[in-house]
Structure 1
Amino acid sequence: MNLLEKVKNLFGFTPAEQEPNPSIITPNERSESAPVTSKSTQTGPPPAATLREQVMRFIIGKLRAYQNEPDTAPIGLRLSVLCTNPEDEDLYRVVLWTNQPGKFQAELARQLADNYITLPKNWQFEYAFFNDTLPDTTYREGNLGLFVVDKSKPDSSPLLARVIALVGQLEQDEYILDSAKNTTFCIGRGRTTQTASGRVRTNDIVILNDDDPGFDPQKGSGNGAVSRAHAAIRYDLVQNRYALLVDPGGLPAGGNKTKIIHPNDSRERADIAGMSYPLQSGDQIELGGEVMLLFELL
């Protein structure tokens, strides 16, 4: 303490206590008033868009050998997906746009073309989910498998089948399906109809409408329950079998229903758009709860 301060103290002049400046924050105060929190790490499966790109890259990468080789390009692809739980399968259904039939195939074709891989106009794309193990495939990576069918592989003999009506009335007594002549056989009420897109659809397996020639009101009393664009039977060249695909008019979302009754009396609801339901000889296909068709291999 210097002489001046001693004099001030002697006469009672003491300096006022300094109050802390609220604008000055010490390091300890800073850490208490503004704690730093770490961002939580996002867990769970990747978003569908990211996973979709991974699937696309897998397929495109395995088809590099066909770049600039349109004459030997594959005529069919079948994607197998191993899903260990229902959540995985739900995610891959979003990835493959199962509720928008044909969209994934169209996008895949576009990306293949960008990579100089041109597939035939009528090439087929199928997918299937598996819970235990993947089937035999041409290529495999992680939980994905790809089976490739190209022109260099020997063609199998045509697969023949027939469809008749057990309940309801068809335009013909029976329809013969020949995979060598056609690969998709549309089923619906009436010969032709116009779809929501404006496209005119021609049915190959015709359920008679009540104003069609030869309609029998007693025999075809339940025909009206069938949609004009109800379903289709498609030949799967990869698996060499026929499968049922349900069109929007045959789905619950369209106010309708479709079922398959197998020879062992088990029932399978066909209610997912774009899903292939394999058919075996002796299967009965129920349309709208009123018409029953019999599918048989020849």
Structure 2
Amino acid sequence: MSLIEKVKNLFGFTAAEQHASVEPIIDLPKGDDSDPVTPKSVPAGPPPAALQRERIIRFIVSKLRAYQNEPETAPIGLRLGILRASPEEEELYRVALWENQPGKFQRELNRQLADNYITLPPNWQFNYSFFSDELPDSTYLEGNLGLTVLDKSKPNNASLRASISALVGQMEQASYLLDPAQKTVYCIGRGHTTQTASGRVRTNDIVILNEDDPGFDPQKGAGNGAVSRSHATIRYEAEQQRYVLLVDAGGLPANGNKTKIMHPDEQVERADIANLVYPLQDGDQIELGGEVMLLFKLA
């Protein structure tokens, strides 16, 4: 810088250097180009349980049209079989059948049958059962529904016989037949007889062999000792037309024992409450003492 320029700067004769101001670049928010969220529509029409209820009633009414204006030959009972794919589907059908309101579905079915000129006897019976493998022999089949018609020529319990066989453990017989026409209560226990706490002698109908019983095989019956002499009872309930399991004193945890029911859908039910009935399904496996396994089958 020359001497003259220095003097000019000293006395302020030179303008300060101007700097171009740069405006900051501000990013403006971009508009939201995403699609607006549309609320999901709720399916119209009746709920699923109501649809299944209507389907069941329509199925039964259509199969009984042969009895229109024929009250003398009308059925004395109807048995509905339902093949369900999952526990959730079974629960749906239970709601559809108003299970928590006993008699309501039968009254509604009776009303709709009457509307179609089908008159059943005053004390006609209705019951239903669930199956997971296949439906039993039925009078009529449609999809996953089966209907057995009971008339005066057919005993009311003709097709409700069942059997018990051993999958693990050794029984006195290879298989026991349960026939409501013969008896409705079957005691299960180790050995033939035992004396209960009250002093009464109990006779077992389904005998798990004791080690000193004739024919006992130490290999087959290795776990038989875990079964109580008064372990459980199978009872047939005529009104509901079903078999149930009751755990006797010897099969309860309070006496150091245990009883389980393994259903075909892989659900396991602990039967550990005295006097409580546990409904049995076709194909159930009953575990006694954690060692012996029995198979329940409808005949």
Tell me the secondary structure at the aligned position of residue 163 of structure 1. Answer: strand
Give the alignment's TM-score, normalised by structure 2: 0.50
Q: What letter matches 2:266 in structure 1?
A: D
Deviations 1:170-199 (A, max 9, x none): 000000000110000000000000000000
Q: Report how far residue 151 of structure 1 moved.
A: 9.0
Aligned pairs (5 A) from 1:239-250 = 239-250=240-251
Q: Report how far residue 157 of structure 1 moved.
A: 2.7
How many aligned positions are there?
159
Give the alignment's TM-score, normalised by structure 1: 0.50
- The whole-number CA distance in structure 1 between the counterparts of 2:267 and 2:296 is 15
With over 3 angstroms needed to count, the CA separation of the structure-2 counterparts of 1:132 and 1:213, relative to structure 1, is: closer
With over 3 angstroms needed to count, the CA separation of the structure-2 counterparts of 1:188 and 1:151, relative to structure 1, is: farther
Identity %: 67
- The whole-number CA distance in structure 1 between the counterparts of 2:182 and 2:123 is 17
Instruction: Name 2:229's counterpart in structure 1.
Output: 228
Q: What letter matches 1:133 in structure 2?
A: N
- The whole-number CA distance in structure 2 between the counterparts of 1:257 and 1:133 is 29
Instruction: Name 2:101's counterpart in structure 1.
Output: 134
Aligned pairs (5 A) from 1:219-298 = 219-298=220-299
With over 3 angstroms needed to count, the CA separation of the structure-2 counterparts of 1:214 and 1:132, relative to structure 1, is: closer
Aligned pairs (5 A) from 1:90-101 = none
Establish whether residue 184 from structure 1 lines up as the match of residue 185 from structure 2. Answer: yes
With over 3 angstroms needed to count, the CA separation of the structure-2 counterparts of 1:192 and 1:269, relative to structure 1, is: same
- The whole-number CA distance in structure 2 between the counterparts of 1:281 and 1:196 is 33
With over 3 angstroms needed to count, the CA separation of the structure-2 counterparts of 1:218 and 1:239, relative to structure 1, is: same
Aligned pairs (5 A) from 1:64-75 = none
Q: Report how far residue 152 of structure 1 moved.
A: 9.1
Tell me the secondary structure at the aligned position of residue 172 of structure 2. Answer: coil
Tell me the secondary structure at the aligned position of residue 224 of structure 1. Answer: helix
With over 3 angstroms needed to count, the CA separation of the structure-2 counterparts of 1:137 and 1:204, relative to structure 1, is: farther
Aligned pairs (5 A) from 1:47-62 = none
Q: Report how far residue 137 of structure 1 moved.
A: 6.3
- The whole-number CA distance in structure 2 between the counterparts of 1:245 and 1:233 is 6
Instruction: Name 1:164's counterpart in structure 2.
Output: 165
Instruction: Name 2:203's counterpart in structure 1.
Output: 202
Q: What letter matches 2:103 in structure 1?
A: D
Tell me the secondary structure at the aligned position of residue 264 of structure 2. Answer: coil
**Looking at CA atoms only, which structure, 1 or 2, has the larger radius of gyration?**
2
Tell me the secondary structure at the aligned position of residue 230 of structure 2. Answer: coil
- The whole-number CA distance in structure 2 between the counterparts of 1:151 and 1:183 is 22
- The whole-number CA distance in structure 2 between the counterparts of 1:135 and 1:262 is 24
With over 3 angstroms needed to count, the CA separation of the structure-2 counterparts of 1:196 and 1:218, relative to structure 1, is: same
Tell me the secondary structure at the aligned position of residue 245 of structure 2. Answer: strand
With over 3 angstroms needed to count, the CA separation of the structure-2 counterparts of 1:199 and 1:136, relative to structure 1, is: same
- The whole-number CA distance in structure 1 between the counterparts of 2:269 and 2:173 is 26
